[in-house]
Amino acid sequence: MSDRFAKKRRFGLLTAAAPPRRTLVRRLGACCFVSTYFVDATREQTTFELLEFAVGGGGVSLHDPAALKRQRRPSSQHRNKDYHMPNSIVCYKWVMDEQDIKVNPSTLELTTAGAKWKISEYDRNAVEAAVAIQEAHGGSVQAMSFGEENLKNSLKDVLSRGADSVTWIADAAAAQADAAVTAKVLAAAIRKAGVPDLIFFGDGSADLYSQQVGARVAALLGLPHVGNAQSLQFTDGKLLVERQLRDSVETVSVTCPAVVSVLPAANTARIPSLKQILAAGKKPMNAVTVADLGLSADDVTPRQQQVSLLGAKMDRKNKIFKESTAEAGVAALVQALKADNVL
């Protein structure tokens, strides 16, 4: 074996940096397959030595070299047998865009007709956090979500943001689900997929903003939860997190596996490039049912009911002045404020 490599180095071929195949296969384990074409220096043929990593049962498309590059360890780590690439699951929610929701001013009822759906904003920051760690340390990013049937419209969207695969659980129960039900479903799905090193959540969803699911999933899985995360660093198998608290910033070091809820201040979610959008459709999308997860109808029945949902009334005076000059407008304002004893 070493002779063959010696010959390759003499010919100065690109594979000089690759580890011996034996070590590679042991390290990658059952989930991966390696296909290599060795240069047969004696026959003086040049072919490429190509290593193709498959993670989690899916394949990385060669059409997306950026993803392929991410799956490789940074080259300085190749010879360190103990180096561990962190695997992540990032959970997201598919929600109605609240800007498309209208409130009837007299009845205060909400109309959602024609509303577009989106990945909740803070969840994009969570995806970005997971992808950033992958870019620095390798490993995989699996997106995961629980929603209604239209959740399938979210899959390419989340994949284009950098996730390598997506696992999605669509069920009619999602329409009435509260944070408790959502957390039970996601915790079960995470257990089924295999608890990874890192599990990411956004701080809260754009529609309900309950800020519960991340902490609930952590408690259900018996894992530490670190919320209010404004900055993250993965070092030596631990996660270093800076947390934005009320009057202080707490920096903690947490062992993996761990659950993190990410603040929007943590990063700026990148806009998917055209290449990422086109590659998204080729990535694995795994549909899982609530039954697959061993959950009963009772498990997905919330223990709270929404009795009513109405537009929030802002009963304000609405005395708005539109004068031709600033001075006139200000004069009118000050007069009104004095008349109403505000000033």
Partner 1 sequence: MSNIWIVSDSADVAAQMLTPALALAGSGDEVKAMVTTDEAAQAVAARGVAVMRLQLADNRFESALPVMAEQIKAAPTRAVLVSATPRGRETAAGLAALLDAPMASEVSEVRADGDAVEVKRYMLGGMAVSTLRLAVPACMTIAGGTFVAPEATGSGAVSALDVPADARVSVDSLKPVARQGVDLASARRVVCVGRGLEKQEDLAIIEALAKALGAETACSRGVAEDLKWMPLDRYVGISGVRLKADVHVSVGISGQVQHVAGIRDAKVIVAVDQNENAPIFQAADYGVVGNLYDIVPALTKALA
Answer for which of 210, 235, 273, 289 binds partner 1 (CB under 8 A) is: 210
Is residue 209 at the binding interface for partner 1, with CB under 8 A as the rule? yes
Is residue 82 at the binding interface for partner 1, with CB under 8 A as the rule? no
Handedness of CA 91, 116, 147, 54 (dihedral sign): negative
Answer for which of 143, 174, 258, 295 binds partner 1 (CB under 8 A) is: 258
Is residue 179 at the binding interface for partner 1, with CB under 8 A as the rule? yes
Helical pair 179-193 and 213-221, crossing angle rounded to 10 deg: 50
Residue of 290, 35, 59, 44 lying closest to 186 (CA atoms): 290
Answer for which of 67, 132, 199, 226 binds partner 1 (CB under 8 A) is: 226
Cα–Cα distance between 40 and 42 in angstroms, integer?
5
Using only C-alpha atoms, the chain has a radius of gyration, in whole angstroms, of 26
Answer for which of 23, 46, 176, 304 binds partner 1 (CB under 8 A) is: 304
Q: For residue 157, what are its two tokens?
A: 């969207």
Contacting range for partner 1; rule: CB under 8 A; set: 11-19, 58-66, 167-175, 216-224: 216-224
Answer for which of 54, 68, 103, 195 binds partner 1 (CB under 8 A) is: 103
Is residue 116 at the binding interface for partner 1, with CB under 8 A as the rule? no
Q: For residue 84, what are its two tokens?
A: 């561990």
**Alpha helices, H only, 83-143:** 121-137
Contacting range for partner 1; rule: CB under 8 A; set: 12-20, 29-37, 151-159, 246-254: 246-254
Is residue 136 at the binding interface for partner 1, with CB under 8 A as the rule? no
Answer for which of 183, 185, 279, 295 binds partner 1 (CB under 8 A) is: 183
Is residue 306 at the binding interface for partner 1, with CB under 8 A as the rule? yes
Q: In this complex, which beta carbon is closest to partner 1, that of residue 268 or of residue 289?
A: 268
Handedness of CA 19, 22, 27, 30 (dihedral sign): positive
Cα–Cα distance between 198 and 237 in angstroms, integer?
10
Cα–Cα distance between 196 and 89 in angstroms, integer?
7
Is residue 309 at the binding interface for partner 1, with CB under 8 A as the rule? yes
Coil, helix or strand at residue 215: helix
Cα–Cα distance between 20 and 181 in angstroms, integer?
48
Is residue 316 at the binding interface for partner 1, with CB under 8 A as the rule? yes
Is residue 16 at the binding interface for partner 1, with CB under 8 A as the rule? no
Is residue 208 at the binding interface for partner 1, with CB under 8 A as the rule? yes
